[in-house]
Amino acid sequence: MVQKRLEETLGEIERAAASIGRAPSSIQLMAVSKTHPYEEILELFGCGQFLFGENRVQEVVEKFSSPRPEGMRVHLIGHLQSNKVKKIVGLVDAIDSVDSLKVASKISEASLALNKRMPILLQYNTSEEDSKSGFENEASLYEALDSIAQLQGVTVRGLMTIGPLHGGEEETRKAFSLLRALQDSCISRYPHLDFSTLSMGMSGDFPLAIREGATMVRVGTRLFGKREYL
């Protein structure tokens, strides 16, 4: 079942990429495993999927505190509170949801204490929905980046956004193309930083995100089935 869903998802990624002449290998699939047990993660890993995303610190602690198989990678993709940073830095390979200078500084400090440098993405709110975290405008993103660029314990890798939760295809496309344009601005403003990752697109809209330039898509339901919240 999960093998079939993985193959279908990879097929959709391939078709979306081909439709605009992009190489499918330029798009990474992240399997969003939140609410699903570790056994299901292992099963998908056994099918060749190596990148996973979790949105809650507590869940990462529960599922990923023991050593994991070689090659399995886990990113945090949900809002991170400063007081939980220390708990998470030793357990994940990247934090894709950095939304303030404050949290970036804490990540840097905690990573340096472990002798590592944490890859991060800056989360941007492209749809002006208050329910979502992320930088709200370019000015606040740049203000934070001016300082984040100086931090020794983090490495900027790019940008992340969640498309509009309500609204149609046109609105979603606009949100993704806005992030793409922002990536270009960031590249010219900070030529010494790496903005190559554009994480956007979920189960409902990842083909569209790929057509708008996503290099990483975060897919949960399409791979694992519906989530049951306890």
Ligand X SMILES: *Cc1c(COP(=O)(O)O)cnc(C)c1O
Per CB under 6 A, 220 contacts ligand X: yes
Of residues 21 through 60, those in contact with ligand X by CB under 6 A are 32, 34, 55
Pair of tokens at residue 150: 């100086």
- Please pick, from the candidates 13, 95, 104, 219, the single residue that binds ligand X as defined by CB under 6 A: 219
Among the candidate windows 15-23, 57-65, 164-172, 215-223, which touches ligand X by CB under 6 A?
Answer: 215-223
Q: Pick the closer one to ligand X by CB: 35 or 155.
A: 35
Q: How far is the CB of 168 from ligand X (least distance, A)?
A: 16
CB 95 within 8 A of CB 84: no
Per the DSSP assignment, residues forming a β-bridge with 48 are none
Site for ligand X in 136-195 (CB under 6 A): 162
**Cβ pair 211, 192 in contact under 8 A:** no
Residue of the chain from 202, 208, 214, 216 that contacts ligand X (CB under 6 A): 202
Partnered with residue 219 across adjacent β-strands are 31
Residue showing tokens 């300082």: 147
String marking each residue 60-99 x if it binds ligand X according to CB under 6 A: -----------------xx---------------------
CB within 8 A of 44, min separation 6: which ones? 2, 6, 31, 33, 52, 223, 224
Shortest distance, CB of residue 112 to ligand X, whole angstroms?
26
Looking at 65-73, 100-108, 147-155, 197-205, which segment touches ligand X (CB under 6 A)?
A: 197-205
Cβ-proximal residues to 39 (8 Å cutoff; 6+ apart), any chain: none
Identify the residue among 136, 203, 207, 211 touching ligand X (CB under 6 A): 203
Query: What are the DSSP E strand ranges found in 43-180?
Result: 51-54, 73-76, 94-98, 118-123, 154-160
Tokens of 192: 């010494």
Structure tokens at 207: 């083909």
User: Nearer to ligand X by C-beta: 59 or 109?
Assistant: 59
CB atoms under 10 Å from CB of 215, counted, come to 18
User: How far apart (Å, rounded) are the C-alpha atoms in residues 78 and 195?
Assistant: 20
Per-residue x/- marks for ligand X, 101-140, CB under 6 A?
----------------------------------------
Query: Which parts of this chain interact with ligand X (CB under 6 A)?
Result: 32, 34, 55, 77-78, 162, 202-204, 218-222
